[in-house]
Each structure stands twice: as structure tokens, then as C-alpha cells.
Structure 1
Amino acid sequence: MAERKAVFTIPAHRAFADALAAGMLGRIGRDDLPRALLLLPNRRAVRAVTEAFVRASGGALLLPRMLPIGDVGENEALGLFDEAMALEAEVQPAIAAFERRMLLMPLVHRWQSLGGRARSSVETLRLADALARTLDQLQLEGIDPARLHETMAELGAHWEATLKFVEVVVKAWPPQLAARGLMDRVARRQLLLAAIARRWRGAPPARPIVAAGMASADPAVAEVLAVIAGLPQGAVVLPGLDLDTADWGEIGGFPAHPQCGLWHLLERMSIAREEVRLWDADSALDGPEPRAKAIGAALSLAGSTAHWPPAGPLPGLRFAEAANPAEEAGVIALAMRRQLDTPGATAALVTPDRGLARRVAAQLRRWEIEVDDSAGTPLARAPAGTLLLAALEAGAQRFAPGALLALLKHPLAGPGEGRARLNWLDEVRRLDLALRGVRPAAGLKGIAARVKSPPQGTLPESERTQLAAWWKALRPRLDALEALMAKPRALGDFADGLRAFSEDISEGRAWEGAAGRAASETVAEMVQHGGIGLPIPPMDLPALFGAMLDDVAVRPPFGKHPRLAIYGLLEARLQRADLMILGGLNEGVWPGGDPFDPWIPPAIRRRLGLPETERAIGLAAHDFVLAAAAPQVLLTRARRDASAPTVASRFWLRLLAFAGDHVAWETDLPALAAALDARETVPPAERPRPSPPAADRPKQISVTQVDRLLIDPYSFYAEKMLRLRPLDPLDADLSAAERGTIVHAVIEALLGAGTLHDTAAREAAIDAAIAVHADQPLVAALWKPRIVRMLDWVSELMAARAAGGWGEVRSEVEGDLEVSGVKLKGKADIVQVGPGGLLIADFKTGAVPRQARLSDGLASQLGLLAWLAEEGALDGPASRVVEVAYWKLSGGREAGRETTSARHYKDAWADLPAFIETCRAAFREAVGEYLAGSRPFEAKVKPEYAVHLQDYDHLARLAEWWGRK
């Protein structure tokens, strides 16, 4: 008599969990159900089938014992079989996953260092994780380590060296674990599964045993399933096996095919497809069978597409294509919300794109709907995780202003609520203002110096005192972090110090809630096992911790909406809703890219008999087929992501090609989603023309501001009347402005002391001027030589002028003159007395104004200074000005260049008195029309000259009216 083989399949169009529950109730009965053992792929499947039993029971029901059999690729533990528990004492305990990571990282690091391949710690971590997966696969498939050596023929030098390293690790790894009294969890799992299979084969259990939901399996699990299929009360139930496809014999060679995993599973179980029977049960969540068969045909092997049946409609299947991810999320959220209008109807979004999942969850909150995103949030994005990373980033950057403020502004930093929280944020704001501009010296010492002496005008004296007191109280907390990040340490030491700092800075709030508990457990694991790893450079810590926290999912609490859900691909297996939305259907997302194995090349994988890396694409295809067979299905994609156009998923393209002209496009939802965020046409702002009363207008203006007033009056109004100042950026590099300030200060000091030609005096003056930037090594290294060349050039120019009869030189000469009730103030960089009159010169470390602007009176600084001098208002008697000049100081290959009315700019300066009169007329226009008149301060009156005046463009709402007629 042939051996009994009870292998079944639930077709793709049936809701797997509900059909499984209904079938078990019918086959086993309510009375015997509690005795049964039900083995499922993972813990999420246990939850799904539990809910299905509740729906099927219609009342109280004692459930079977449900255990995950353990899919290693999904990090699920082996369920505690009674038989496995009896064998526990016979095998060594499994090594913790994090401890294993810490042991593998030094091995990978040594391999990286052999060929001078030293890399960052996070790259070492990723390679160690890939090596762990390779070890798992070799153990899962039962590959003898000796075979690695046999496959090295005809390999490149790189791959040969890599495989030799893998061979050494594979041989040395089990003894290393044995010396610690441990073993790999995969090896342990395989031993237990093999023992369970032997025991069940020799002494079949008396209770019903059902294994369900496995779409693929390694040899050990396949052996257990084969034993279960032959038990008197055993059954194996496969999800979505295609019993009709004609190309079944070829599928095993195409790992990306949706049925490939099932093909290999049946091969390992020694079961022919013809032996598999249909599981006789249905449910209210079953989809239309013709569509499920059509989807299977659409995703068949490429060679079979010529035999596709005639194109026809796919009932209940709609496509929606959005312009971008935000629009796609809006369509999906509206579809889910609309489903709630039908009593009892359910909807689920299935997507591997976590960004899309977060967008949809945010969109649903507009209707006060909190949806269960069962894939969870990476701990690195949760508040507790971001606090840890912000602390590490601040320490690694030696408390650079941006990183420090990001830490102190974190919601978990400081007091939690009430007046204490507001006071904390006020002090952080003051610190923000104090740290604006050029970055302070590295470390807390530099921050403390800036707090003691913030930039002029940033904080009133009372607030400076208050900030200093707050910083003094905060400093000891930050000192602990600075000491922690001062040198390389073991990861466990960093984690221990970080735990103490986070608890201190958050006043204990860092470990609250689901994310806090996950962070606490993760850090505790680092402390426990992190001492056995490599010393980590502090600069590597933010990226290393970020990678580790990214691997930890924070599951949402229960109590979310009971009829809506968001699933990742793993969580979606065996799940079914009335409306299944399959989102993010772009290549590289669904399916994801072919995962690359950095340790074993594809050719060697084939020789060893390891599964192709494309097998993951096949599993994603199988997930797609099952999800797309629901009663109602919506497929969505975005034509571009944040950076570039996207390519539609192969699944999307296959279904479009299969359906032909019968494709059903969803048109209502995109229009409704767009209408939700649409608003009535808002007329753009007009060009601003504020016109305050003449009495309120400024009665003082400097020679450098006249041009601004005539070119962009609104910019002058915002600065002088609204008293708005743009904040300096945080952590700014030293710019040409600071260099110009240094040069002016040096020349003023040397001219005042009469030591411009004294080399030693110049050296001392430069050192004194740059001392304020002693924490900026580039100033001394790069700027000082340029400043020396500038001074050499100025000294040579002065000597040449002295030889030509020019005499006394004064610098930074100030003066003022009142005209029509408005005071004009000015400061000349250089005033020199010559044979026939004065020279007025201005230093430029930037660009020199062009002739056209000078001719139009819109670069009037020198002309107005000359007017003040001729009126006797420039700190001296009235004197005729015979020359004006720009001295451009660069200190580069060309140390300096003089642009003077004596030799240059003949169009603008040929007639110097006329130029001075043009500038005087520009000032009178500014006074008569704006300062003493009633003309509105209109924005961008002379736009061709306003390119450099952009600080107030956002306030003027420039983009709304610029270019309009």
C-alpha cells in the first residue's frame, strides 16, 4: 500500500487563514481542536490564523496550539515543540544574535586590513551581517565546508581570497562557539528539527498535526513537513500552489518565478504536484477565481506568454498611477477611508516601501484614524532612537553648533512639560543666537567661550547673564558625553556611557513607551555583548549605531483602527481584507533588487547548490499573487520618486500587457484626492509698496545705504524701519567678509602707528588681528600669507604715491553732513593728501562696481565721501578731491589692483566733479522722495542692480509677483 501523503493547497483566490481555520474545524472538529498542533511560518501568521478562528467559530472556541516553525530568513525562532523541549538539555544553547555580530566583526575587520582595505565600522558591520547570512545559508542547506575549496577553480584573485577567508571562518566558527559553550542558532535549529523528524517518523504522535502557510523551506523544515504529510493525523497545507500551469517542469530553473519556492519545497518533500489536493473550505474574503488564474498566467514564464489566453477584464482589479509618492499616498488613504463607509468592510495596504507606509498613515490622521502599521517603525526613526543618535552626533562632531542644538532641541532633552519645558526651550533659543556666525572652537570649551562672549548685538545683557547661568548648570552633563567620545572604546563601553547620558539629559524620559523600551533593550544588549568587539573610533559611532537601530522595529501598540491595516510583505503573508491595496509597485521596490552576496559569487552558489539570490524576488512575486487575488484590489505606483523617474514593477507591466485594452484605471480616487487638498484660487501678492508717514521715516543714512534705498527701497525699509536682520547661519565658515574686516583692522593699525613699511610691525599686527580666530587653523595657514601679500602691495603702492608727491595718509576717516533734515554719515578707508587735493580710496576684498552702475549714480559711496570731504564734513577742512579709487585686495597671484579715476573708468570718472554731482543728485533723490518725501518703499525698483540684495525677498513675496505684467 502506498504511503499516505496528506498535502493540500489553498488556491490563491481563497483567503488562506480563513480557509485553513474553516477546514480544520470541519476535519478535526471542535472537540479535538485543542489537542491539535498547528505549525505556521512566523508569529504574524499565528496572529492571523488566531483571528481567522475567531471569525470562523462564531462564539467561544478552544484553539489548537499554534507555533512558528521558524523561517530563519525572517528572524523567527523555532517554536517550542514538546519534542524539542525534551531535547533541549542535549544541545548547547544558541548564541545571541548581537553577540554573534560582535564576534564576527573582528574577523571581518582583520580580513579588511590584510589588503589595506580598512573601512568604516559600519561597513565592517554590514559585511559581518552578510557573512552571518552566508554561514546561515551554508548550515541551512547542509553544505560541507570542504566543498568551498573544491569550487575555487578559475576564480579571479579577489574572489579566491574572499572564498579562502570564508572557508577559514566556516571551519573555525563552530569550535569557537563550542569553546564558549554555545552553538549557532541555525545549527541548533537544524539539529532539533532533524531529531523531531526522526522521533515522529519512528513514533507518530496521536494528536492531529497540521503545517500550513510555507511557500518555501530549507531541507530540515522540508523533512519535517514530509514526515507530517505521512502521519496518520497529519496534513501539510501550501499557499497558492498552481495545479494547472503547463510549464511546471521548467519552473525550478527560474528562481524569480512566483511558484519556484513551492516547486523546490515539493522536490525536497519528494511530493509530485499531482499528489497535492485542494483544501476544501472557503470564506467570505475569497476573491474571484478567474482573476487569480489570470494573474498566475500573466506572471508565467516568458516563453509561455505566446500562449496567453485572449485578453479579458480582470474583475475587481484597478490600477492607479500617481505623479509622485505624496499623490500616491493621498489616493491610497482616500481608498482606505472610503472603505469605512461600508459597514464591516476592511482594507489593507501592502507595501515594502516604508516611506509610502508612513505617508499613508499621516494622511489618514486627517480623519483622526490611527492605522496599525504592523511592520513597525525603525528604532532609528523613533524618538528614543533619534535622541541616542543626536547625542552621538554631537559628541562625534565635538559639539559643533548644529549638532549640539539638534541634541538640546530634541523633544526628549530637558524637562518634559509645563513651564520648565518652556524655560528650557527659551535657553536653547538664546544659545542658538549666541552660536550664530563663524563656528566656535571645537569642543565644549569653544562653546563656553562663545556663551561668555556672544557676537555683538545678538543678545541683550540680561539674556547673556541668564544664558551663562543655564550653561553653567548644563555643562557637567555634556562634559560626561565629551569624555565618553574622547577616544576609541569597545561598543559596550560607549553604550553604557550613552545610556547614562541619555537618562540624565532626558531626566529619565528616554525609556518611556514602546520606543523607549526597545531602545533600552537594544542598549542593554550592546552593553552585555559589546565588550567582545572591536574598539570603535568615535567618528564611526553615529553611522554604526544608526545601522544597528535601523534593524530594530518598534511595533505599534494595540488599539489602532480594527478595520484598516498597513502591512509589510512579511506581515501580509496569509492576511486578507475586502480591499487589498498593493502600493509602491516600482522596480527595485516591489520586487526589490536582486540581493548581492559579497562573500560567495553567483557561480559558486550554483556549484554548491545554494538557493539563487533571485529566490527573494520569486517569494515577492508569490506574495503579490496572493494579495492580488483578494475580492477587491487596487494597484498603485508613482511615476517618480524624490530624485528621479521610476520604472514600473515587472508585475505591473505584466498585468497591463495581459489585460490589454481591458485595463480598469481608477480615475475617481486621484481626482478626489486632489480635490481634498485643492483650495480656491488665491490671488498672488502685489509688489509691496509700504508708505509710512514722513515723520516716521529715518532721518539718518550712511553712504553705503543710499544705493540700497534707490535700487531696492523695500529692502531698506525692512532693515531700517522694521529693524529686521537676517540671522547669520550656524557653524559658518570664515568668509571674505571676515577677511575684509581683518585687513581693514590691520591697515588701520599700521597707518595709525606709521609702521606700514615695517615688516616686523606688519607681522605683529596680522597676528593680533587673527588672534580672535585662533581656533580656526586655516586662518593662519591660508589667510595670513594672503594678507601679507596684500600689505606688501599696499606698501608698494603707498611708496609709489609718496614718490609722486602724495603726503599724509589717514584711514577710517569719519564724517557727516545734514541735508534737508537728513544726516548723511560716511567713513573713508583711505584719505591721502596730494599736490592738488585729496585721494579718497576704498578697499575691496570682493568685486569692484562696474562702470554702468557708477555712471547711473548707483555705486555712490566714493562720490558721496568726496562730497563730504569737499564740504569739510570728513573730519578735516574742506578740500578739493582730485582722485577716487578702489583698491581691490586679493592676496593671490595678483596681490592687489588699483582702479582709479586717474587712469580707469573713463566713461564714469573722466569728469570727476560730474561724477560727484551725479552721486549728490542720487542722494538728493533718496532724501527728497523717500526719507523726507512720501514715495512708497517699493520692492526691486531697479532689478538689474538688485541681484545681490536678496535678504528680504521672501518677506516681499517676490516669487508671487516677479515677472507678472
Structure 2
Amino acid sequence: MWVRLRRYRRRNDFSAMNEASGGPGAAGGRPRIFTVPPHGAFADRLVAGLMSGRALPLPGELGLARTTILLPNRRAVRAVRDAFVRHSRGALLLPRLAVLGDLDGELMPGLPADAAELETPPAISDLERTMRLMPLVERWQQRTGQARAKVETWRYAQALGRALDLIQLYGAQPEDLSGAVDADMAAHWQATARFLDIAVASWPDLLRAAGLSDRVEHRQALLGRTIEAWRASPPQTPIVAAGIANADPVAARLLGTIARLPAGAVVLPGLDLDMAREDWRALAPHDSHPQVPLKLLLDEMDAARGEVDIWPSESDLDGPAERSDLIGAALCRPDRTVSWGASQLRSPGGLTRVECRTPAEEAAAIALAMRRALDTPGKTAALVTPDRALARRVAVQMQRWGVEVDDSAGVPLSLTPPGAFLRLALEAAQSGFAPVPLMALLKHPLAGPGGEERTEWLRKVRRLDQFLRGVRPARGLQGVRNRITTSLERTYPCYEELVGWWKGLEGIFRPVAALFQRRRTGDVAEAAGVLSALVQALSDERFWQGQAGRAVSDLLEELERLGTEQLSGRVGASDLPTLVDAIAAGIAVRPLYGRHPRLAIYGLLEARLQRADLMILGGLNEGVWPPADAFDPWLPPKVRTALGLPPTDRALALSAHDFQQALGAAEVLVTRAARDETAPTVASRFWLRLDALLGNDWPVDEEIAALAASFDGSAERCAAARPAPSPPMQARPRQISVTQVETLRADPYQFYARELLGLRKLDALGEEAGPAERGTIVHDLLEQLCSDGGLHDPQRRSEAIATALKGYSDHPLLLALWAPRVERMLGWAADRMQEHEDRGWRIAAVERAGEMEIGGVTLKGKADVIFDTGGSYAVADYKTGQPPAPGRIREGYADQLALLAWMAEVGAFHDLDAREVSEIAYWKLSGGETEGQIMSSANPRIAADNVWRDLPAYFEEARARFRQTMARWLTGDEPFTARLRPEFAPYKDYEQLARVQEWEGNSRG
């Protein structure tokens, strides 16, 4: 360890001697290439070395101002600019900071002053390129039998654009594609390669016809001309290329040229100068070692590792020099890990970890670490993670302290309020203004007016919400209007106001509704115009405000310009929501100001060259950091290799290099979650290597771990008690229905919440019709047909069924399934009624309501059908579901028929004499293969299984249970305890109110 540190010092001295003697880099001499070790703060070291003049002589007083520094991305430009501000200690003329670009093809902002500009047509934007490639991809999909949704065509077109970029960056020729495909490759890949060959060859002609240029082609030509100009006439002003760890061949040749300029230098990040020579030579392009990108870069620059020196400067943000030893050992080649057991390496301190249970807990731990950093004056902290979900969680967690964190990667436009509003408008129109998406749209904060008028808007929206609950209305705007007019009485005070308000909304929605009613939607441009008018009318100027509002405005304007049928083809109505959402998801919205100056969240690309006092490396799981191997639908691995393109697993090596650089900070916290939203996770290979190397020398941040585990609650929770409200006797109801008695006995709290608190479960918005609705229809039909004598007439039954189901005409599948089933139910019931009539029975009452008073409590009930058997009654109850099980009847939690019989025997039903009840029965109406079944006390086989075999005794037991139940809860002071007999509780509508999950299973419950 200490030997290596001394080697760093010797290299610094050697660099100083080079500088004193004129240094390397003169024309034809040794290239001037440096590196900053992983523990060094790159941007600050770079600035310190330039300002001191030790690494690169700066001519004259304005030498720094005349210097050009080429950096890999715009975030690096900002990092270096901030470093100059920290080191300036006053006014300073900054050098020119420009972006060279990286493998993603980011454009160089301009040539140095002594290079000529290239005159080219305007460069095509990413969005326009994808739109123009979509028709090509769609035709290929159709010819190969891969017709997909439009959003998939969009994604394939995006991938095709990236493939075109890659082919141009690495100089592959169209004719190389045909030779890159082997005969033994799958037919799919052969067809794909043929299409790609055509696309690559025809793309330049398509651009010329549109009067546009390819940005990558322009960039490569620009760099090539710069190389020629600088080799022919080397610039006399200093030029430094810094922080670039990966480059395409043309950019790498430019770096090699810069390194050989008289006033040029290249500064690489984290090159390992102490790796064994045989290990360095053994690195292959497909390896995931962090040094692979740098080795390939040096090869393209025509330079050797031995020609690289340490950049001669230091920084207060540097980590301990021993950290570089640790990083080199932890990320060594796999065949070198056998030496870990004999290694004397120990953690130099400042490196801790936290392993959390869930992503939410991990976000809490990171937020706590960042908040703790703010307690130290001037201390900075940064989260580095490729996990965008984790980054958003942390940003939200920080808001509980009123801290807004700068997330450099931004937020996808689709996740911002304007983007979500746009998606909801499309989903509402696509669904035919079904209740759920319609309410989501109308309740959105951007819908309706702002200010004081917002309250009135929400009042009308909530009223509409009430009318749309239950089975969803017919599809379309008219269906919603019909629901309003049929639900509202014309005498309702606000009837005209509410109907008029909805008619106004219909006028706003009609153009987009017409768009979705066509069999074939027009082009995207037409849809974008309709959407612009819709959001303008439905919202107000608030929609277009802020960064997100302006981004949506620009997007819609671009879609109107580019989304014509000639460019992107036609789009089906069903494809619009997902397509627009996918386009919006690719647009990042970044706030301009208002974020905390000492905190930041970086993606891996943004984190390069960045350094904070505390670096938090989050999301250390396989598939996240490092990322999963990306699938390229156009360039399979064999074709990439044949064309000389970088393999897809190059991203693994780059992510390892990013991890190496971030791990070099003075204080580092590494975090991961043991599981994600769906399953357990696998720790990152980087995490596992550090754990295997350090073991107990890699400490856990105990304070953060403990706080995160109890972040949203106390560490010790008191066991909750079972709810048992006990209102005074005078407040208790004095009436009950026969169907509520079993609820009161099994779960008194349900009865309390419904009858004493007056709480009712709201129907769901736009729910599908189910067994409950079918049961209501069957009961109503039996009452109607039994009353008017039409039950035995098949024609009248069919007409009645059609009329009853007319309200569900918007559910064709439901009608197809229900109509024959209900027909069989009624047919079976008619046959059983006829059998009873043949026995001399007659129907005495249908759906007859009655009530009687017992011990100060009024018992109410409604009998489905009562038969007069010629001296006694038979009471029957229809069940379109399952009748009560015999065990439930035995336990006394299904006394409905017994109580109805009691009412019949005392004459409690209107217009019915008091008579003895000799039979009770459940009529199960299924309408399936078994059309129905009667569960009767007169059936010896059924009666032998339960208490109905002795009907008078059963009646007496049921009556005694009723009196006891009333005496305990309605006329007594028994508490309404939750879930006394949960196995017999009929419904679970009030379990959340009773907070069952907090106490169920507790000994105190």
C-alpha cells in the first residue's frame, strides 16, 4: 500500500521534471497524457493543475482564458466551471469549456477559433428522425409478419436510429452489413440485417430530400476536419481534453492529436498505472473490467500506458490515497481474487454501507444521510444511482424537511402534472369517457379553473362522481349525460346548473371523442392539434406554465409539424395514449433553479467528474448497477463483432468505471435493498467483491440503518385493542331487518358503523355488472311476472328479460352470457311454481314486506314468496348465489327464514292472515347445467342434515336467539365488538374502519 503511494509521489516529481525541461508533447515527441487516480477529485485536480501551470505551461497573463478544455458532457462542464469558482478566490477569466461528446454522439458545440466551420443543412432532431423512420420500420414489420402496436414501432424506430448512429460512429460501411451475417444465423436475424442494410443505404437520400443532415455524420466530419487542421497547423493556444473514458475511433484520434500538440494534453479519469503488465495486456474488449474502456481508448490514441503520468495536483475533496489500492484490488480480474486471502488491505475509513429491506427503506436511509450532511456547515452530499425510481423516492423524501434536491437527470415529462394530464385526456377519450379515467381527468389539479372558482368546479365534479358510481353507463358522452338526467330529479335545486355544466364539457370533449370514434384515426399531427385545443379549453393558462408546461407545448407543436401521414403514417385510435406517453417519457424536464446548493442526485453519466464530501452510491443490485445487458433488436452480437462495433456489454465496463470513480471519495456510503417491489434482489457484483475483500472491515452505518428501519413509525408499537364502541342505550336503534340480525351477532361493529354512524360503502366507479346486479334483476323479474301472471308464458318471460337487460346494452358480452342464463332461471322457477300449483298450493304473496314489534324492537322483513298450502304457509327465499351452509344454520347465523316465518305466523305481513308455517325453503337459481335446486325443510334428505328436521323446535331456538340478541345490543348496553365470529360475518365492508389488521391476532385483541 505504502509502496504504491510513494510511486504516486515519484510520478508527480517526474511530471514536474518533464514540465521543467519542456515536457512531453512537442511535435513528434512523447504524447502528453495524464490521469487522475480514483481517489482524486477530478474536476478540482484538473483546475488546480491548470492554474498552477505545473502540468501545462500557459503562455502569458491571459493563457488560461485562451485555453480550450474539451469535456465529455454538459454536466462535466458545469462541474469544472464550479471548480474554477472554488479555486479562483476572486475574479477570473475562465477558459473555454466545450463538450467533445461521447459514444452517445453528443455534438461538439463548435470548432476552435482556428478551424473552419462546416456548412451543412440543419441537423435532424431525435424526435423527427424517429418519426421519419417509423414508416420504414412499420413496412418491415408487416413484411416479416411482426405487426405490432404503434408504440412498439416507435421503440423499434428509436433503436434503429441508435443503430444508425453507432454504424456511423465506428465507420461501418453499408456493404459490410451483408458480409456480417452468417448463414447459420437465425432467419429472423438475416431478414433484420437485410432491412438494416437497406435502411443504412437509403437514409442519406431521405435526409437530403428533407433538406436535413445527420447530426452524427456532421459531428464525425467536424472532428475529422479538426484533426486535419490541427495536424497541419497545430494551434498555439492550450487545448486540454479531460475526463473522457470512452470514445469512438474518430474522437479517440482527435484525443491522440491533442495529446501530441505543442500545447495540448489529455487527462484520463482513473487509469490504473499499477496494474500488472500481464493483467493489462490480458484485458479484452468483451471484459467488464473498469479499465477496458481506457485501454481501448489508449489503443485508438496510439499511446501506451507507460506514456501516462499522474496529473500533478491535489484537492481538498480527494479521498485517502489508500482508497485507490482498495479499488484496484476489489475490481481486479477474476483470476486475481485468489490473492485476497493473503492481502493486508484494510479499509482506510470513510467507507460504510447500509443494506435495507425495501426500496422505500433504502430511499429513507439515503435521505437521512443527506439530511445529516446538511448539519455540517458547508458539507456537500450527492446520490449517484442509475435507478431513476430510487432517485425520485429520495427527492420526495427530502421534501419532508422542505429540501428540494437537484436531480440532474430530470423527471420524465410523462410523470409531470402536464404530462399526466395529457395522458389522462387521451385515456378518457379512448375509453369512451368511462367513469374511472373521466373522473381522474376532471379531478386533476390542472383541470378546470384555478383560484376561488376551483371549489365550485370540484363540487360539480364530486356530484358527477356520485352519479357515475355503480355499473358503468353506456359508452360515450351521451351515456354520461343519460346517467346524470336519470339520476337527478328535475326538482333537484341544481338540476339545470349541473346538466348545463356537463353539456359545456361535452362541447370541449366532442372533437377528441370524434377522433376516437373513427375506424381509422388520422395522423399524429391531427391528434396533437385536437389535444392542444382540449387541454387549452379544459384547463387554463396554468397548464402551459413552468418547465413541464413549456415542454408539453413544444412537444405538441413538434407533433403537429412532424406527425403527418406522409412522415409517420396513420395511427390507430387505440395506439394514441401509449404512443404519446412513450414520446413524453423520453423527454426530461429539469428545473432551472430553486434547488439546494449543497445536495444533488446524479445518474451515472452526470456523475462523471463530480465529487462531493459525501458520495452515496445507491441501488447496488444486479440489473441496476451494473445494468442488465441491453438487447439490441437490430444489431446482434455476431453482427456487432463483424462490423467492429462495441459489444453490448461495454456498458458493464463503463458502469464499473463509474463505480470506481465514485468510490474514491473521502466519505462514501453504499446502499442496496434486499428486495424490490416484486421479489428478492441479488446484490451487485461490486457489492459482493467489496464484502468478500473487506468482510468485517466494511462497517455498517448503524445510525442510518436504525433510523431508516423506523423512519415512518416508532420502533415499538403498542398492540391495538379490538374496537368495541358502546353508545348509550337511548342512542341505539330500535328497529332491525331480518337480514341484519346475523350481522349484528357475527360482527356487531358492522351493524354499529352502518346503523349508528350512518356509513354506507360507496359503489365503485364504473364497475362491471356482477352477481349482485344479476340477483336484483332476477328478483325484480320474478316479482313482476308472478304478479301479472306472465311467469308461465315463455314469450312474456323473454320480453321481460330483454326489457330488464336493456340498461346493460353497452355490455354485449354480458348480455350474451346473462340473457340465456336468466331465461333458464325463470324457466326453472316457472316449472317449480307449476308443480306447487298442481299440489294445490297458491301464491299468497310476492316480495311482501312486513314488520312487528318484539320487546321494544321493530323487526322488519320482506318475503320473496309465500305459498298458501291450504291451511298453513310455506315461506321461500330466492338465492342466485349459494344458500347458507347447513353448519351456518346450525350455529344460528342464518335465521332469516325462521324470522320471516315468525312474522307470517303473527300476521305481520300486510293483507296476510296469521297462520302456522309448515315449510321453509331456499330456491337456488343457478341457470347453469343444474338450472336450480330447492333446499326445503320438507325434503327428508336435506332436513336430516340440519336443525330443520324439527321445524317447531328450530323456530323456538331462532326466536330465543333473536330476543337474546336484541337484549344484548339494542335494548342493553353490550359493546359493538368487531368480528365476534368472523367466520360468519357476511361482509367485510367495514374492516378498514375497524383497523382489523392492526389488532387481529394480538393476544390483547
Structure 1 length-normalised TM = 0.96
> How do 1:560-959 and structure 2 match up within 5 A?
560-674=595-709, 677-679=712-714, 681=716, 683-808=718-843, 810-875=845-910, 876-903=912-939, 904-906=942-944, 907-946=946-985, 948-959=986-997
For residue 37 of structure 1, the aligned residue among 68, 77, 84 is 68
Is 2:376 the counterpart of 1:346? no
Mapped to 2, the partners of 1:636 and 1:251 lie a distance apart of 29
Contact 2:115 2:226 in 1 (8 A): no
Partner-residue secondary structure (3-state), 2:840:
coil
CA positional deviation for 1:680:
7.3
- Structure 2 CA distance for aligned equivalents of residues 743 and 165 of structure 1: 61
Aligned partner (choices 193, 196, 199) of residue 166 of structure 1: 196
Q: Distance in 2 between matches of 1:189 and 1:439?
A: 56
Tell me, yes or no, if structure 1 residue 363 matches structure 2 residue 363.
no
Q: Is residue 127 of structure 2 the alignment partner of residue 98 of structure 1?
A: yes
Deviation by residue 1:918-951 (Cα, 9 ceiling, x = unmatched): 22223322333332333332222333311x3211
Q: Contact 1:311–1:662 at 8 Å: present in 2 too?
A: no
Is the contact between residue 39 and residue 321 of structure 2 (CA under 8 Å) also seen in structure 1? yes
2:320·2:666 contact (CA, 8 Å) conserved in 1? yes
> What letter is aligned with 2:926?
S
Q: Number of matched residues?
A: 959
Distance change (3 Å), C-alpha of 1:941 and 1:347: closer
1:57-72 to structure 2, matched below 5 A, reads: 57-72=88-103
**Structure 1 partner of 2:6:** none
Corresponding residue number in structure 2 for 1:263: 295
Q: In the alignment, what sits opposite 1:321?
A: 355
Please name the residue that 1:243 is paired with: 273
Structure 2 residue matching 1:580: 3-state secondary structure: strand
Aligned ranges 1:487-498 → 2 under 5 Å: 487=518, 488-498=521-531
CA distance in 1, matches of 2:493, 2:950: 54
| Displacement after TM superposition at 1:307 (Å) | 4.0
Deviation of 1:577 (Å) = 1.1
SS at match of 1:88: coil
Judge which range, 20-29 or 185-194, deviates more: 20-29
2:488–2:495 Cα contact (<8 Å) kept: no
- Give the letter aligned to residue 249 of structure 2: P
Distance 1:905 1:202 in 2: 109
Residue 139 (str. 1) matches residue 180 (str. 2): no
Match of 1:481 in 2: 512
Report how far residue 221 of structure 1 moved.
Answer: 0.8
Task: Tell me which residue corresponds to 2:436.
Answer: 402
Describe the superposition over 1:697-750 as per-residue Cα deviations: whole angstroms up to 9, x where unpaired: 222222222222222222112111211101111111111111111111111111
The answer (yes or no) to whether the contact 2:114–2:235 under 8 Å persists in 1 is no
Give 1:5's aligned residue: 31
2:540 to 499, 507, 510: 507
Shift of 1:311: 3.9
The answer to whether 1:414 aligns with 2:455 is no
Correspondence 1:467 to 2:467: no
CA distance in 2, matches of 1:84, 1:512: 43
CA deviation vs aligned residue, 1:386-411 (integer Å, no higher than 9, x gap):
11111111112121111011111111
Task: Give me the whole-angstrom Cα distance separating, in 2, the residues matched to 1:206 and 1:20.
Answer: 20
Q: Quote the offset at 1:369 in angstroms.
A: 2.1
| 1:805 positional shift | 2.3
- The answer to whether the Cα contact below 8 Å between 1:855 and 1:915 also exists between their aligned partners in 2 is no
Alignment of 1:360-399 (within 5 A): 360-399=394-433
Is the alpha carbon distance of 1:964 and 1:94 closer, same or farther for their aligned partners in structure 2, counting shifts above 3 Å? closer
Cα deviation, residue 451, structure 1: 1.6
Task: Please give the secondary structure, in 2, of the residue aligned with 1:643.
Answer: coil
Q: Distance in 2 between matches of 1:111 and 1:68?
A: 37
Deviates more, 1:806-815 or 1:353-362: 806-815
| 8 Å CA contact 1:322, 1:639 repeated in 2 | yes
Q: Compare 911-920 and 168-177 and name the one that shifted more.
A: 911-920
2:308 is aligned, of 263, 266, 276, to 276
Check conservation: 2:72, 2:102, Cα contact below 8 A: yes
Query: Per-residue deviation at 1:341?
Result: 2.9
Q: Is the 8 A contact 1:225 1:269 kept in 2?
A: yes
In structure 2, relative to structure 1, the CA distance for the partners of 1:289 and 1:521 (3 Å cut) is same
Q: Conserved in 2, the CA contact under 8 Å of 1:84 and 1:192?
A: no
**Which amino acid in 1 is paired with 2:590?**
R
1:118 correspondence with 2:147: yes
Q: Could you list the per-position Cα deviations for residues 430-473 of structure 1 after superposition, in whole angstroms to 9, with x for gaps in the alignment?
A: 111111111111111111111222399xx993465553343233
Of all paired residues, the percent bearing the same amino acid is 51
Distance 2:300 2:274 in 1: 21
Stretch of structure 1 that moved more, 718-727 or 484-493: 484-493
**Counterpart in the other structure of 2:482:** 449
Deviations along 1:876-903, one digit per CA (max 9) or x if unpaired, are 1122222111110011111111111110
**Contact conserved, 2:180 with 2:638, CA < 8 A, in 1?**
no
Inter-partner Cα distance in structure 2 for 1:604 and 1:681: 60
Q: Secondary structure at the match of 2:993?
A: coil
Corresponding position: 1:231 with 2:264: no
Displacement of 1:533 in angstroms is: 0.5
The one of 228, 231, 244 aligned to 1:198: 228
Distance in 2, matches of 1:958 and 1:550, equals 40
**Tell me, what secondary structure is at the counterpart of 1:739?**
helix
Does the 8 A contact of 1:311 with 1:658 survive in 2? no
Quote the Cα distance in structure 2 between the aligned partners of 1:927 and 1:51. 79
In structure 2, C-alpha distance between the alignment counterparts of 1:941 and 1:210, rounded to whole Å = 79
The answer to which of 571-580 and 329-338 deviates more is 329-338
Residue 943 of structure 2 aligns to which amino acid in structure 1? Answer: Y
More moved, 792-801 vs 298-307: 298-307
- Once structures 1 and 2 are overlaid, which stretch shifts more, 354-363 or 923-932? 923-932
Other-structure match for 1:526:
559
Higher deviation after alignment, 567-576 or 291-300 = 291-300
For residues 302 and 691 of structure 1, the distance between their equivalents in structure 2, rounded to whole angstroms, comes to: 70
Matched, 1:332 2:366: yes
Q: Is the 8 A contact 1:838 1:883 kept in 2?
A: yes
Q: Give the TM-score normalised by the residue count of structure 2.
A: 0.92
What is the SS of the residue equivalent to 1:86? coil
Unaligned runs of 5+ in 1: none
Structure 2 segments unaligned to the other structure (5+ residues): 1-26
Contact 1:493 1:527 survives alignment (8 Å): yes
Q: Which amino acid aligns with 2:914?
A: A
Change in 2 beyond 3 A, CA 1:163/1:56:
same
SS in 2 for 1:476: helix
The answer to whether the 8 Å contact 2:460/2:498 transfers is: yes
Q: Which runs of structure 2 are paired with 1:171-190 in the superposition (5 Å)? A: 171-190=201-220
DSSP 3-state at the match of 1:935 = coil
Shift of 1:632: 1.4
Equivalence for 1:150: 179
C-alpha change, 1:174 and 1:660, in structure 2 (3 Å) is same
